[in-house]
Amino acid sequence: MDINNCPDQDILLHYMQKKLSRKQKKQVEKHLCQCDFCRKAYGISVNLLHDSSFSRWEPLPQKTISTVISHKLNEFTDKLVFFVNMLFKTPVLVPVVRNDDDIESKDNPITVQNAGLENGFTPFIKTINQLCFEMKMFNCDEKKADLSMVTRYQDHPMRDVNYFLTNAKGKSRAKCQEDEAVYFREIPFGLYELIISHQGNETIHIKFEINRTGIYENNDLS
């Protein structure tokens, strides 16, 4: 590989990912030492690959096998504790939504803007690593209510998101394919566990209670 015969970009790509044989690698390195143009071009392309300003076009970080296994174990123990608590303990609830405050400050334009306008419930919002999960409660009667859920990544609604809502009786599942919210109809009041997954990776895991006054996150078990 002479100075005039600069390597193809595919070879440099393989060199970057350390997929070349030892002989080829030496050849490429030798060429990079000799050719200023290729050295600079290679340096620029690698730096641009790691540039953080392109992160919004990159997919969400994938999990390794070890993290998946540890997460599954944690999930199992969490579920165990959750059901044991449901049977023997009264869970300690930390209120996230204060319905009374909301009703009091209904004239305030800022809170009204943030609130679920029709019912007087403020939406339940949770942000984890640039992911913003928003849950609203509406059509509430004495025993049940409807829920709507949206997940946004950097203010853009996410596609291909799976929502798994579980309570003691069983699991219900919904999938969001378009840029729309997902609705769970006639959910009876009680303790719930919600798992949101994107492209097979679990992204958000929340435990909460729904009752007549609103949605409450259960921090005791998380």
Nearer to other proteins, 40 or 185 (CB): 40
Q: Which parts of this chain interact with other proteins (CB under 8 A)?
A: 9-10, 13-14, 17-19, 26, 29-30, 32-33, 36-37, 39-51, 53-54, 57-59, 62, 160, 199-201
Residue among 55 and 129 whose Cβ is closer to other proteins: 55
Instruction: State the nearest-atom distance from the C-beta of 27 to other proteins, in Å.
Output: 10
Q: How many CB atoms lie within 10 A of CB 165?
A: 19
At closest approach, how far in Å is the CB of 176 from other proteins? 15
Number of residues that this document lists for the chain: 222
- Residue 208 CA to residue 94 CA, distance in Å, equals 9
Nearer residue to other proteins within complex by CB, 33 or 112: 33
Residues 97, 215: contact at Cβ < 8 Å? yes
Nearest approach, Cβ of residue 128 and other proteins (Å): 20
C-alpha distances (whole Å) from 44 to each of 6, 50, 94 are: 16, 10, 50
Residue of 117, 201, 222 whose CA lies nearest to 158: 201
Is the Cβ of residue 57 or residue 88 nearer to other proteins in the bound state?
A: 57
